[in-house]
Amino acid sequence: MLDISEPVVATAAVSAPVVPAVQLQTPPAATLPRQPIVIIGSGYAGYGLAQALRKADPKVEIRVLTQESGHLYSKPALSIGLAQGKSAAALSGETPLAIEKRLNIRVYPHCTVERIDSAAQRLHTNFGEMEYGQLVLASGAQPIRLPIEGDTAALLSVNNLHDYQRLRERLVGVRRVAILGDGLIGCEFANDLASSGFAVSVIGLGHWPMERLLPEEAGRQLQLALSELGVSWHLENTLQRIEPAEDGYRLSLADGQSVEADLVLSAVGLRPNLSLAETAGVAVGRGIQVDAQLQTSQPGIYALGDCIEIDGQLLPYLAPINQGIQALCKTLLGRPVKVSYPLMPVTVKTPAAPLCLLPPTVGVAGEWRCTLTADGLSAGYYDIEGALCGFVLLGRQAQLQRNTLLQSCQNAQRAVA
């Protein structure tokens, strides 16, 4: 089998590696990193880690393998790109070749890792085999597909730049878009599509949009703000069947209603990619299970980003990935560090109703208390002892309270610890 770590393999190979000017010394107490460090995935986690590693160590050998094209892009930009008139090309940043040069790493685009032999420390890919010293699974998550009957060609989901390009292509000549999913990503796309002139219908299980994250008052205000953009709602409902109609598709809902649409965007959540990790004998649950050092159940194999499960939780946002990158970078370079997650508010990109939230920890008993503002509301989640442990801020005026409420939550958390 071809060993793809040999330079004969044609990828975006670097002709003249650029070595950063500042040469950091490895502290004497550190164990030397086992090389090469191989990262599977070129998303925010994969490239972010490669960049942090290179900044901390100008010499360590780093390889990034990705089944995508390897271009840098911002995934959060995908759900706000239409209203900004951005094509997929406009959202695409550095090429893999430019990244190789900037970071002095090797990137293997369109390279699918099919199997990990953890005993031999070798990867089996569609290009050949590769050895690793330490391995990081930054392999992300994929859209959940509901079992919908009929003509599922009408369905698509957007989880990477290629999907976004397909969405843009499919929207040409289209007027009516149905969104399956009333959660955070579904609402962001509803805002983006409706403000770009499409007739949007949202189909979702919740009593109100983003029911799992918002108290009813906030959910209703978000619903109203998006309705004012023209969004229509089919809540407490789901899609059962898609049939071609004379013009577009007829969507049959669980309650017997039907909706006409030209395209269906599925946004019902993501599921961590587990199958590759399983080939290595790595323990998985809902995600790839990692300890506080982001190490999997197999020594020398770590995981980061949307694919992980830590303390039983999935953390599919950028802020926890940033925390993970900082800790894992040190660990891989021989100074093991535990990751710690501060309170991390999430900004929801619904310009019709600017929204920022800090969800309370799942299972904390308490209640939401809402106060109306001039253009929205501020809601706090108080536990049974009256301590603030989460919030929702909707509307421009409420955003001004973000730092104060975050500070209160941090104080309450410190008091418990």
Ligand X SMILES: Cc1cc2nc3c(=O)[nH]c(=O)nc-3n(C[C@H](O)[C@H](O)[C@H](O)COP(=O)(O)OP(=O)(O)OC[C@H]3O[C@@H](n4cnc5c(N)ncnc54)[C@H](O)[C@@H]3O)c2cc1C
410, 388 in Cβ contact below 8 A? no
320, 314 in Cβ contact below 8 A? no
Q: C-alpha angle 409/340/36, rounded to 5°?
A: 155
Q: How far is the CB of 406 from ligand X (least distance, A)?
A: 16
Q: How many Cα atoms sit within 13 Å of 60 on the Cβ side?
A: 31
**Cβ-count burial 363-384 (b if 16+ within 10 Å, e if not):** eeebebebeebeebbbbbbbbe
133, 35 in Cβ contact below 8 A? yes
Nearer to ligand X by C-beta: 88 or 387? 88
Give yes or no for residue 79 binding ligand X (CB under 6 A). Answer: yes
Give yes or no for residue 123 binding ligand X (CB under 6 A). Answer: no
Q: C-alpha angle 96/165/177, rounded to 5°?
A: 155
Give yes or no for residue 273 binding ligand X (CB under 6 A). Answer: yes
Give yes or no for residue 276 binding ligand X (CB under 6 A). Answer: yes
Nearer to ligand X by C-beta: 138 or 388? 138
Tell which positions 170-209 bind ligand X, by CB under 6 A: 185
Q: Is 203 helix (H, G, I), strand (E, B) or coil?
A: strand
Nearer to ligand X by C-beta: 137 or 387? 137
Give yes or no for residue 282 binding ligand X (CB under 6 A). Answer: no
Give yes or no for residue 42 binding ligand X (CB under 6 A). Answer: yes
Give yes or no for residue 394 binding ligand X (CB under 6 A). Answer: no
- Piece of 34-42, 169-177, 294-302, 352-360 that binds ligand X (CB under 6 A): 34-42
Choosing from 46, 81, 209, 345, the residue that interacts with ligand X (CB under 6 A) is 46
In angstroms, the CA 48 to CA 201 distance is 36
Choosing from 81, 96, 140, 215, the residue that interacts with ligand X (CB under 6 A) is 140
Give yes or no for residue 157 binding ligand X (CB under 6 A). Answer: no
Q: How far is the CB of 185 from ligand X (least distance, A)?
A: 5
Pairing of strands 270-272, 141-143: antiparallel
- Binding interface with ligand X (CB under 6 A): 40-46, 65-68, 75-76, 78-79, 112-113, 138-140, 158-159, 185, 273, 276, 305-306, 316-319, 349
